[in-house]
Chains A and B, each alone.
Chain A
Amino acid sequence: MKGYNFAYLDEQTKRMIRRALLKAVAIPGHQVPFGSREMPLPYGWGTGGIQVTASVLGQTDTLKVIDQGADDTTNAVSIRRFFARVAGVATTTRTAEATVIQTRHRIPEEKLTENQIIVYQVPQPEPLFRLESSRIETKRMHGLADYGLMHVKLYEDISRIGQISISYDYPVMVNHRYLTSPSPIPAYDNPKMHGMAALQLFGAGREKRIYAIPPWTDVKSLDFDDHPFRPINAAEACGLCGAEDSYKDEVVMDDRDGRMFVCSDTDHCEKRRART
């Protein structure tokens, strides 16, 4: 598009973000500060993810954008159109065809490959922020791998309600070293991060942090030996495609308590329905 650099950001900014990305890949799970720019969308709508995507996107890439698993929600459509305009790259809704996937709140059901990069939008990169409000202190805790506090939180959950009550943004240990926020994906998606073939990049625009999980890295959800991690999902099958193993959204159908469970990953659901 005329008047804009390829993929909106100027080359100097992209270079700065790529430097942060390289450092992030070199230290899996470690939060790297970066000079987050003003983007043409509000904080909380994916300013971090969009900057990371802009920096890794090449002319031959194919982009897929999902929001809560869906390709057809406002955010997903807007960001996809944005890059189609300012970068002129091909876009798709099919997981397998994409080379770069920007996501909010989900990991696609389909297994990602070594040729793909998944970019997460992150509102709060600090997994300890609800427990320790001081950034200086959390930085020290990361530096010394002093994560007893996070386990105290899990302990409190079990002693109060009998189970760990975190259903999304469930903290993980990356590469046996850094406690990391997986971004607000459902805990159900956590196991997909472990040993993933694709490169996982995380951008937090408002908080000005980038972190990464390189391919084939160990990612472990925190738990206790006698209270192991449980991915939580609706017990019912998808009302459209009948899938049982995919993550479901509950949709209210009418005002007489009618409700339905459907796959949150729209591409996965459509593909299954097309096959039958």
Chain B
Amino acid sequence: MTGEPIVAARGLTLSFGAIRALADVSADLYPGEILAVVGESGSGKTTLLNVLSGLTRPDGGTVTYRETGGLTRDTHAMPAPMLRALQRSDWGFVHQDPRRGLRMNVSAGGNVGERLMAQGARHYGEIRKEAVAWLEQVEIDPGRIDDLPRTFSGGMLQRLQIARTLVTRPRLVFMDEPTGGLDVSVQARLLDLIRSLVARLGVAVVLVTHDIAVARLLGHRIAVMRAGEIVETGLTDQVLDDPGHPYTQLLVSSVLQA
């Protein structure tokens, strides 16, 4: 862990009516590290991700983001244009369903180029060159640059979404179950890809998953959530090899062995 955290959450609370989605959650994310958030369905993982990325406003608590220059900003207090600018350049969001993160009626190249154009890129040739380079990085045949995403398989769609997100070289990426709904061999290749890209670009990632194996493979640190609380946090291997909290023990022991 080097220096100051890039994202720091303190005392987050959020309720949807009687449902307590977040109950006093605090977490830190350091530059270049992958924080895996695990827990069962309804434990508040995705809500936490939405609050950290500024999509949902918490009832209480703060999220601060540390800019490149070292200045810290309150994610939920910054003006809307600034938040939007961060969301489309320095940050990225990878949805579980790639159809939510992609424009399905726009070609693969247009999808990858959109964030560049939103940032002011105005040279068609260079946008296209960048799109080709990114398709290659995520192992999609560059010959399919003008194809519509609906002709792509599920795994390709997810890789396209990752290319579209990483094209602006963000410092911080939020991933919500990026391997959900894919079969095991496709999942393995995707995990490998995410791990190598993230390591190469030095991106900080908050990764939400219900799959302990994914967390073990990708996460540097892990946070175990249950009923809106983080019950245990620490280095991934440490937590998973020697779980302290009874709930973590249950989670680890309920993984099926192949």
Binding site for B on A (CB under 8 A): 143-149, 151-152, 155-156, 158-160, 223-227
Contacts and interface: CB of A to CB of B under 8 A. Distances in A.
Interface of B is mostly: helix
17 contacts: A144-B81, A146-B84, A146-B88, A148-B114, A148-B117, A148-B118, A149-B114, A151-B114, A155-B117, A156-B110, A159-B107, A159-B110, A224-B122, A224-B123, A226-B123, A226-B125, A227-B124
Given A148-B117, A224-B122, A226-B124, A155 B84 contact: no
Q: How large is the interface on B (under 10, 10 to 19, 20 to 34, 35 or more residues)?
A: 20 to 34
A152 B117 contact: yes
Interface of B: 80-81, 84, 88, 103, 106-107, 109-110, 113-115, 117-119, 122-125, 127-128, 145-146
Contacts of B103: 152
A152 B123 contact: no
A164 to B, nearest CB: 10
Contacts, number: 57
Contacts of A148: 88, 114-115, 117-119
Contacts of B119: 148
A159 B114 CA distance: 14
Q: Nearest 5 A-B pairs (CB), nearest first? A: A148-B118, A151-B117, A224-B124, A225-B123, A148-B117
B106 A156 contact: yes
A159 B117 contact: no
Contacts of A147: 118
A85 B243 CA distance: 88
Nearest to B79: A144
Nearest to A160: B146
> Which of B81, B84, B113, B124: most chain A CB closer than 10 A?
B124
